[in-house]
Amino acid sequence: MFRRFLGSGRPGGLGSDRTPWNVEMPPPPGQGDDLETETVRRIVARLEALPVDEARYIASFAYVMSRAAEADLDISDAETALMERFVSEYGGIDASQAVLVTEMAKLQARVQGGTEDFVVTREFREMSTMEQRVALLRCCFAVEAADGTITADEASVVNEIARELDVDAETLNEVRAAFHDQLSSVQALRRATGGTA
């Protein structure tokens, strides 16, 4: 399903033949899992019923946030919860759909990170307004700040995302300013100066 949202069959895209979809399957579900499985199927059916452009927008939005969250090689529960909220709010889908989209995006960011980051981010740029791109940057910073600190690696990834979205430096700095206190460099300076920086 995620392949369909992000450009199934496009050379070099998430739906290309190079995508590692041959993941080992888990054992057959037990009787107690039937209800949960049916619930997931209903959510998938609702997502697949979305117009393709809308679905691709939501999937790309979630993927770029996952890319930012994965910058420190770990996506925490707090980051995941915030991503789910943003996917629901900005994607206009319900909470259960947002959970599924977020989990798929996290998996893709982990598996495809580095090879698809640029492609998906540029695709989001092509289908979004500048206002939507800036909103996505805010979401990326907020997700990274979920644990109280934005590391240098995390800040660097958002800088790269901003360049790929064609967001100018002045706008990026305005967005970053809202998260000034969470930047690890600022926190380190405050510790070194006894909190006076």
Quote the pLDDT of residue 10. Answer: 39
CB 141 within 8 A of CB 176: yes
Phi, psi at residue 73, to the nearest 5°? 65, 20
Number of domains in the chain: 1
In this predicted structure, what is the pLDDT of residue 42? 78
Question: What's the distance, CA 45 to chain centroid?
Answer: 22
Q: What's the pLDDT score for residue 30?
A: 56
Q: Which CATH number does the domain housing residue 154 bear?
A: 1.10.3680.10
Could you give the dihedral angle defined by the CA atoms of residues 95, 100, 104 and 109, in that order, rounded to the nearest 10 degrees?
A: 20
Q: What predicted TM-score, i.e. pTM, was given to this entire model?
A: 0.78
Q: List, in sequence order, every residue forming a beta bridge with 150; answer none if it has no partner.
A: 183
pLDDT of residue 9: 37
Nearest CA among 170, 112, 111, 117 for reference residue 140: 117
Asked if the structure places residue 29 within a domain, the reply is no
**Domain of residue 173, residue span:** 2-13+35-192
Question: pLDDT means per 10 residues in the chain (197 residues)?
Answer: 50 37 48 68 81 92 95 93 96 93 91 85 95 97 92 93 97 93 78 71
Q: 3-state class of 193 per DSSP?
A: coil
Could you tell me if residue 28 is inside a domain? no
User: Is residue 155 included in any domain, yes or no?
Assistant: yes
* Beta carbons of 100 and 143 less than 8 angstroms apart: no
pLDDT, tens digit (0-9, with 9 covering 90-100), for 22-50: 444 455 555 556 766 777 777 778 888 88
Residue 20 lies in a domain: no
Residue 153 lies in a domain: yes
- Residue 23 is assigned to a structural domain of this protein: no
Phi and psi at 15, nearest 5°, equal -100, 10
Quote the pLDDT of residue 94. Answer: 93
Evaluate the CA torsion angle 16, 17, 19, 25 in order and state its sign. Answer: positive
Contact 121, 67 (CB under 8 A): yes
